Structure 1
Amino acid sequence: MSAVDATLDRLAFIRAHTRLLPVPHAPEISLHVAEEATELWQKTEDELATIGLPPPFWAFAWAGGQALARYILDHPETVRTKRVLDFASGSGLVAIAAAKAGATQVIAADIDAFAAAAVWLNAQANGVSIEARLDDLIGLDQGWDVILAGDICYERELAAQVIDWLSGLSQRGATVLIGDPGRSYLPRDRLAEVATYQVPVTRALEDAEIKKSSVWRLAGEKR
């Protein structure tokens, strides 16, 4: 299968198994999301796991991402005229918020090709321009002014690796903001809380219908 055919297949799968709906805590943005979380998760495993693809994180508006998107929309000066990286972008929710808030350039990076396709679809649906990159950027520094990351602290090793990398970017002067509802491996001792929200979420994926979710800045960051 050619790269073009594979991309078209991914776009068709997303269109077939999602609906374009407003994000609960950022209704200015609409995303292609799964209405039945468990069903799509199972379908992805059944139909796609044989070719080694990760779970469909791109099909949901996660609590940390919603909090971060809300913060960016309410504080557009954070990203306005800046070069922005949305790391582990998933659906592209936070990247779309940054583009709407006036960022000069927005890169949405993820290692899942389905996420890259979802970002493209969602950017089109919201009338913004975003560069979707299928890359693992951990350890790299390409001069971004602002780095945004939602829901990245759900695995111990990944969280430690990403926070160390983001700390380096912060030390050279980048603004680093993390959206998180209190995942297990969130390093609170290295973070300063800047905003907190009560975010509606999908109970099939979380342990509640409302998750207290915060936006965090790396402590000691240069201003």
Structure 2
Amino acid sequence: RPREDQIVIKESGMHAVEDYIMSRYQMYWQVYFHPVTRSAEVILTKILHRAKQLHDEGYVFTHAPVHFYSIFEGKLTLEDYVKLDESIILYYFQAWEDEEDAILSDLCRRFINRQLFQYVEFNPNEEMSAYFELTSLFKEAGIDPSYYLVVDSSSDLPYDFYRPGEEEERLPIHLLTQNGQIKELSRQSAIVESISGKRRTDHKLYYPKDLICDGSEHPEAKMKIRQLLGLT
């Protein structure tokens, strides 16, 4: 309900707000940030990066990315954006499975057939030297690390309140108590207080397990890759 210059929640509705915040928290970590979901998003992003690179290099597509031209050229309009629905994107991905460019074709095949990248836990503060070594080994093995070795980070701040002096202004949720006082939600709810101000971050390193386990080419480099990834 409106109260002075803000909207407040009656104290009797606190549990409904708790349910909303915790549901959002669970949705992010069990669905949006799930490793399988993130793997699909990593591949989708790399498909678009590859298509743009080929476009910029003058590559002649068998199926020209007409609907993506405005994005690739930095001239995206609202009308162009609205046209890029799921059916259009999947059409191009299916068509690009037959492109001559091996990377674009492979990435699209992976996305369409759900042959997603595998992952390992990754700490960028402690394991960057291993990442750089993997990058070199991927090149040695003939696998482009720009598209097949990806560090992905997920982060979420489920709820917080305004803290004076901080750059980012946060709008708190206020409760209207039975005696007419206005109190910030986390001061009244132990559930919300337990996650308030606590940013959770997750880092993973994604890679194509099938390619590095194929020992028909560059077996020594791929063996070293598997060792670094803990696959042997």
Does TM, scored on the shorter chain, surpass 0.5? no
**TM-score normalised over the length of structure 2:** 0.27
Structure with the largest fraction of helix = 2
If asked which structure has higher relative contact order (CA below 8 Å, sep 6+), I would say 2
Computing the radius of gyration from Cα coordinates, the structure with the larger value is: 2
Structure with the largest fraction of strand = 1
